Amino acid sequence: MNASLNSADGHAFQTYVTGDDQARRGLIVLQEIFGVNAQIRDTCDRFAQQGYRVIAPALFDRRERGVELDYTAQGVQRGLELRNAIPVEQTLLDLQSCIQTLDLEHIGIVGYCWGGSLSWQAACKLDGLQAASCWYGSQIAQAAHLTPRIPVQMHFGQQDHSIPASAVQTIRSAQPQAEIYEYPEAGHGFGCQQRADFHAPSYELAQQRTLAFFDRHLR
């Protein structure tokens, strides 16, 4: 279902919410640069089947409401324009609102692409989370100096031309305590069934690791 939330600065935004409303554990799922589209809703539903109460905030609502882009060059360009127009600190206000709305003792955050970078930011700056899983966040290396407040796991494809090996090494050097996995045959977006770079074996392994990570830390 869809629900409207308000951030601390008065911004109202939409969310996709699914899962048992009596669940003991919650997850915040963060979108790629394509909005809360069918892929993200399906991702939320998959986590909900594992017993989570799940919420996915429409992060583009700060610039344009109801955005659902496709995986074309035009979609990428529009998604980047929207992403670049929204300050990280404003987005973090939206994520804090999601944490407060879930109002659970055990809350994790997982994000993909732009959402992967935001999951790292949230792990370092927000209260109320217990674990963060970051999938192919291309902006993590630039923020690798930050100090996480919670356990963090990261996933990168070694065929991802937008995140070179040097960037992953920068993260490893700055964050030796983080769980960082690389997938030799995977490119960017390997966990998205709608993208050309989807790589089922890498996705399945990364998903297993993500679920096991949350099982350890959200208990």
Please state, as a whole number, how many other Cβ atoms lie within 10 Å of the Cβ of residue 86: 16
Return the amino acid letter for 158. Answer: Q
Print pLDDT tens along the chain (219 aa): 789 999 999 999 999 999 999 999 999 999 999 999 999 999 999 999 999 999 999 999 999 999 999 999 999 999 999 999 999 999 999 999 999 999 999 999 999 999 999 999 999 999 999 999 999 999 999 999 999 999 999 999 999 999 999 999 999 999 999 999 999 999 999 999 999 899 999 999 999 999 999 999 998
**pTM recorded for the entire structure:** 0.97
Q: How many angstroms separate the CA atoms of 209 and 110, rounded? A: 12
Give the CA distances from residue 32 to residues 21, 83, 91, 115, in Å, rounded to whole numbers and listed in that order. 25, 10, 14, 6
| Marked catalytic residue, from 106, 155, 188, 199 | 188
Q: How many angstroms separate the CA atoms of 158 and 180, rounded? A: 12
- Residue 138's pLDDT is 96
* Whether residue 188 lies in the annotated active site: yes
- Residue 1's pLDDT is 75
| Marked catalytic residue, from 98, 134, 160, 217 | 160
What 8-state DSSP symbol labels residue 26?
A: E
- In order, the DSSP letters of 58-124 are -GGGGT-TT-B--SSHHHHHHHHHHHHTS-HHHHHHHHHHHHHHH--SEEEEEEETHHHHHHHHHHH
| Marked catalytic residue, from 94, 98, 106, 113 | 113
- Residue 219's pLDDT is 87
pLDDT digits (tens, 9 = 90+) for 54-84: 999 999 999 999 999 999 999 999 999 999 9
User: What domains are defined for the chain?
Assistant: 2-217 (3.40.50.1820)
